[in-house]
Amino acid sequence: MSLRPPFSRIVQKLPPTGPFVPPEAIERKTGKKLALRLGANESSFGVSPLALQAMKEAIQHVPWYGDAENYDLRQALARQLAVGMDNIVIGSGIDELLGLTVRLFLNPGDTVVTSTGAYPTFDYHVEGYGGHIHYVPYRHEKNDLQGLAEAAKQKKARIVYLANPDNPTGTIHTPGDLKSFIAQIPPDCLLILDEAYGEFAPDEAILPMDPSDPRVIRMRTFSKAYGMAGARIGYAVSERKTIAAFEKIRNHFGVNNIAQAGALAALQDREFLQKVVREVAEGRREYDQLAKDLGLSTIPSVTNFVTFNMGSDESARAVINALSERGVFVRRPETPPFNRYIRVTVGTPAERAQFSDIFREEVHKRL
C-alpha cells in the first residue's frame, strides 16, 4: 500500500527542473563568488534614490500585509498610461502574471503558440497547467509575426505569447507591424504582449496604450530599467473584464508594501530612468564595437542586453564555459539557432571594461 498521496497527472509528467539556473546555484556549485553577474538582465545601475528611500521607510511596515488593492500604485500607473485603474492589475513580476493569465484562459489540453526559443517561463506555466505548446521558428532573428498568426489560426490556439522587445534577441517590431499582427489573430485567442524591456526602446517604437481590446493583455515590470528585480513587482494592462477576472485567482497579498512603495517612488523619478536608459544605450554601442573588433557580429538590440553571434554552437559553448571558469555569468540560449549566441547584460562602465578584457582574451584563444 502506498503511503504517499499521488501527484496530479499533469505534475507527474513535468520535468524536475525550472526554466533557469540561478546565479546563486552556480556559486554554490563552484564554491566561488561571481566576478561579473551579467546573465539575468538585471540592472547594474541600481534603483532610483527616491525609490530606495521609500523602501527604507516602508521597512517599518514589514509587520503589515501590503495593500491588497495596490491602490496608490495602480492610481499612479493609470495617470501615467492614461488608462483607468480598473485596466491594471499588479503582480509579483511578469512571471507571476504569466502564470495567472495562463490559468485564466487555458484549459488542460488547449494549445498556445509562441516562438521557438522564446522566454521559457511562459512555457513553464503552460506545461504546469496542462497546455500544449506549438512553436514557430524565428525569421531573420526576429519573431515571425505572420507565422505566429497563421499558427494561431491553424492550431485554434487559446493564447499567443510575444515578447516585444524580444528576449533573447533584443529585437523589436514596429507599432504598425503589431497592429497588423493583432488584426490577424483569431477573435477567441488572447495575445500576451510582454513588454518587460519596453523602457529601453524609443517611445515611437512602442505600441500606443489602448486597453479596449479584450484580446490583448500587455505586461510590464519594475525589474529591468527600474532596477527592482529583487522586489518582484510588475503589472498588466487590459480590458476591464479581463482585469476583473484576475480578482478570482490572484494572490491578493502577494505584493509586499516595500515593493509597492519602491515602485510608486520609481515612477516619479523620470530623470533617473532616463539616465539608466542612456547608460544602457552607450553600453550597447560598446558591445557592438567589441564584437566588430573581434570579427564577430551582434543582433541589433533595443534592450539592456546584447546577443553576440559566436559562429557555432561549439564555439559559443566553449567560450561560455571559459567565462564561467573565470567567474563571469552570462547566458547561452539552448535552442537552435540561438545556441550559437551568447547573451550579455549591459553592465556599468567598469563591468563592461572588465567583461571586455576577459571576453577578448577567451575569444583570441580560439581564433
* Cβ proximity of 283 and 334 under 8 Å: no
The answer to whether residues 261 and 277 belong to one domain is no
- What local confidence, expressed as pLDDT, does residue 358 receive? 98
Structure-derived torsion over alpha carbons of residues 33, 38, 39, 42, reported in degrees to the nearest 10: 110
The answer to whether residues 229 and 305 belong to one domain is no
Q: Which of 116, 120, 107, 195 is nearest to 156 (CA)?
A: 107
Give the strand pairing for 234-237 and 216-221.
Answer: antiparallel
Predicted structure pTM score: 0.96
* Cβ proximity of 228 and 47 under 8 Å: yes
Residues 192-234 have pLDDT tens digits of: 999 999 999 999 999 999 999 999 999 999 999 999 999 999 9
Mean pLDDT of 348-364: 98
Three-state DSSP at 309 gives strand
Residues 288-339 have pLDDT tens digits of: 999 999 999 999 999 999 999 999 999 999 999 999 999 999 999 989 989 9
The answer to whether residues 242 and 298 belong to one domain is no
Percent of the chain scoring above 70 in pLDDT:
99
> Could you give the angle at which helices 349-365 and 313-325 cross, rounded to 10 degrees?
120
- What local confidence, expressed as pLDDT, does residue 3 receive? 83
The answer to whether residues 37 and 157 belong to one domain is no
DSSP 103-146: HHH--TT-EEEEETTS-HHHHHHHHHTT-EEEEE--BTTB--HH
Residues 21-66 have pLDDT tens digits of: 899 999 999 999 999 999 999 999 999 999 999 999 999 999 999 9
DSSP 92-104: SSHHHHHHHHHHH
Query: Residue 1 — very low, low, confident or very high, per pLDDT cuts 50/70/90?
Result: low
Query: What cell numbers appear for 37 in the block?
Result: 553577474
16: pLDDT strictly greater than 90: no
Mean pLDDT value across the chain: 96
Mean pLDDT of 250-257: 97
In a domain, 94, yes or no: yes
276: pLDDT strictly greater than 80: yes
Q: Is 82 left (phi over 0), alpha (psi -120 to 50) or beta?
A: left
Last-in-domain residue among 268, 298, 319? 268
* Cβ proximity of 211 and 87 under 8 Å: yes
Question: Which residues pair with residue 328 across a beta bridge?
Answer: 36
Number of structural domains (the chain) is 2
The answer to whether residues 250 and 334 belong to one domain is no
The answer to whether residues 56 and 145 belong to one domain is yes
Last-in-domain residue among 234, 268, 302? 268
Could you tell me the CATH number of the domain that includes residue 301?
3.90.1150.10
- What local confidence, expressed as pLDDT, does residue 2 receive? 64
Q: Residue 300 is part of which domain span?
A: 19-46+271-365
Q: CB-based contacts of 86: which residues, under 8 Å, 6+ apart?
A: 240, 243, 244
Could you tell me the CATH number of the domain that includes residue 230?
3.40.640.10
Strand (E) or helix (H) holding 193: strand 190-194
Q: Which of 303, 311, 362, 357 is nearest to 40 (CA)?
A: 303
Question: CA 357: distance to chain centroid?
Answer: 28
In a domain, 180, yes or no: yes
In a domain, 205, yes or no: yes
340: pLDDT strictly greater than 70: yes
- What local confidence, expressed as pLDDT, does residue 254 receive? 96
Query: Helix-strand-coil percent breakdown of the chain, rounded to 5?
Result: 45, 15, 40
Last-in-domain residue among 246, 268, 290? 268
In a domain, 12, yes or no: no
In a domain, 5, yes or no: no
Residues 166-184 have pLDDT tens digits of: 999 999 999 999 999 999 9
In a domain, 8, yes or no: no
